[in-house]
Amino acid sequence: MPHTKLLASGNPIDVDPVQSKLAQLDLSAYRTIRLSAGSGAGSSGPVVVAISHVDQPDTPHANAITTLDSFTLAPDEWVSKVYEVPGEVVTFVAQPEAGPLAGIGLFFTIYGRTD
């Protein structure tokens, strides 16, 4: 029987004017994940959400190996995407599209599925 679990969420978060880490997750126990994200209707500009595979997480040598996906959300725009688990540790970040900018609200959920 499949098992789905909420792994991370923000309802909403204020995106840092430079970059915000939404989550860093060990996904080795999951087969697929679903990321749903939406930019608040009153957000001051577009936001870029990026997903990267991370090498040596939680160490001084941690770094993004590859960007697995990235997409831009305009204010009041929503997306839901399903990914086959791309690696063990994955990080999700959000940043303003046009450089430093305050006033962006982002809603997101990340679910993992074991089957």
The CATH number of whichever domain residue 51 belongs to comes to 2.60.120.260
- Across residues 99-112, what is the average pLDDT? 94
Q: Which residues pair with 78 in a beta bridge?
A: 38
- Across residues 10-21, what is the average pLDDT? 92
Q: How many domains does the chain have?
A: 1
| pLDDT reported for residue 94 | 95
Residue 42 tokens, joined:
């009153």
Q: Is 101 helix (H, G, I), strand (E, B) or coil?
A: coil
Query: pLDDT confidence of 55, banded at 50, 70, 90?
Result: confident
- Across residues 17-35, what is the average pLDDT? 92
- Across residues 24-46, what is the average pLDDT? 93
pTM: 0.89
Residue 82 tokens, joined:
């399903």
CA nearest 112: which of 25, 18, 21, 54?
A: 25
Query: pLDDT confidence of 70, banded at 50, 70, 90?
Result: very high
- Across residues 40-56, what is the average pLDDT? 90
| pLDDT reported for residue 103 | 93
**65: domain range?**
4-113
- Across residues 46-68, what is the average pLDDT? 82
* pLDDT tops 90 at residue 33: yes
Q: Are the CB atoms for 39 and 76 separated by under 8 Å? A: yes
Concatenate the DSSP letters of all residues of 7-37 into one string: EEEEEEEEEPSS-EEEEEEE-TT-SEEEEEE
